Structure 1
Amino acid sequence: MVTTVFEPDVALALESEPDEVKRRVGIMGGTFNPIHNGHLIMAEQVHSQLGLDEILFIPNNIPPHIDTKTAIDGETRAHLIELAIADNPHFNLDRIELTKGGVSYSIETIAQLKQQHPDTEYYFIIGADEVAYLPKWHRIEELVTMVTFVAVKRTGFTQPSTYPVIWIDTPLVEISSTDLRQRIEQQRSIRYLVPVKVAEYIVKNGLYQDDKH
């Protein structure tokens, strides 16, 4: 049975890590359809507060959702991520799920990453609202033994979980990719909601103009 941790002290959690771990890497996974400033703020706060070496942005190929969602092609989503993170030296893009193809399961991605980089400890970053859905994740009992989940919350909010979760306070920035796509389709401004280069690329290439993605 997985040990239940509600609000562990972050400093103690980090001090308890084994000495042989050389690198500590955060993972931001998702469809990123499109990436926005909310994603970047989450990633930056986790990187800073946990003192991680790197944050990997991993766009999925096909999300394992019961309610099937469509998205623009993976390489375009990946390019938008590249544009968004270009000025941050500790942010990097990893195309591992796009290269693999098919449905993207976190358990398979983490297993592959750990095989390639056995000296790395991974921290999986999720929103506070996703904590309640952890029991529904594919092979979650195995996954929680392979990564440390980090939930990003607003001050004073926590969501009880039967799985170990480190809680991080961040500024509350309510931006969603769904809202962005609707704004673009309705020709409303997305300025300050996404990085400038991302907005320019979306407009130049006519992305999200029919609200089908």
Structure 2
Amino acid sequence: MKKKVGLLGGTFNPPHIGHLVIAQQVLEKANLDEIRFLPNLVPPHKENDETVTAEQRLRMLEGAIIGNPKFDIEKIELQMEGTSYTYDTVKALTERDADIDYSFIIGGDMIEYLPKWYRIADLMGMVHFIGVNRPSYSHETPYRVEYVEVPNLSISSSYIRDSVKNNKSIRYLVTDEVYRIIKEEKLYG
């Protein structure tokens, strides 16, 4: 029987408790064996924020998942050149790991955006999609997506970055370790 692994991609700039809640809920509700956080180098749909390096984002992500043996980090996109397209990543992972059945976890914002994804028709034949609710977004799509209900937490990385920039508290929005890294490395200020 193949190992069932969920991939949760993003910039994780910074990783926050919303990411962790989604991962834990999907792990349990979709009966997965493991969640791998998939930090990207250059996402196709966001501008690159060069004030925080990929290494710093990776360090924060490592700090965020400490203590959960079912969480890991998949670094493949950090090692790829150029823009990170899910199609290229999933193709490389499925070729590398024939013994793993991958699922790709997306939020409501990405569910709506699926028709615009690079090589979406091919991608649909390669990976199982799991969509989670996100406030203010629909989960309607013409594509096959398993839907998992998760608690609505309106936390975003941009909100956290803005809060730090404006000297507002981010306690309890990120883990203690991520909080420590942000403070020590004076990120987002």
Q: TM-score range by the shorter chain?
A: over 0.9
Counterpart for residue 70 of structure 1:
49
Other-structure match for 2:5: 25
What CA RMSD, in Å, does the superposition of the two structures yield over aligned residues?
1.5
Q: How far apart, in 2, do the equivalents of 1:94 and 1:168 lie?
A: 22
Shift of 1:159: 2.1
| Structure 2 counterpart of 1:18 | none
Other-structure match for 1:92: 72
Report if the CA contact (8 A) 2:133-2:139 is conserved.
Answer: no
Secondary structure at 2:170's aligned position in 1?
A: coil
For residues 91-140 of structure 1, the C-alpha deviation after alignment (integer angstroms, 9 at most, x for no partner) is 00111111113111111111111011112111111111221100111111
* 1:149 shift after superposition: 0.8
CA contact (8 A) 2:107 2:134 kept: no
Select 2:112's aligned residue among 132, 135, 141. 132
- 5+ long unaligned stretches in structure 1: 1-20
**Count of equivalent residues:** 187
Question: Match for residue 194 of structure 1?
Answer: 174
Cα distance in 2 for partners of 1:122, 1:193 equals: 28
- 1:55 counterpart SS class: strand
3-state DSSP of counterpart to 1:184: helix
1:206 aligns with 2:170: no
Moved more, 194-203 or 98-107: 98-107
Cα offset for 1:187?
A: 1.0
CA distance in 2, matches of 1:26, 1:60: 16
Q: TM-score, normalised by structure 2?
A: 0.94
Question: What percent identity do the matched residue pairs reach?
Answer: 42
Alignment of 1:25-64 (within 5 A): 25-64=5-44
Runs of 4+ displaced beyond 4 Å = none
* TM-score of the superposed pair, with normalisation by structure 1: 0.84
Structure with higher Rg: it is 1
Once the two structures are superposed, what CA deviation does each residue of 1:33-71 show, in whole Å capped at 9, x if it has no partner? 110000000000000111111111111011112x53324
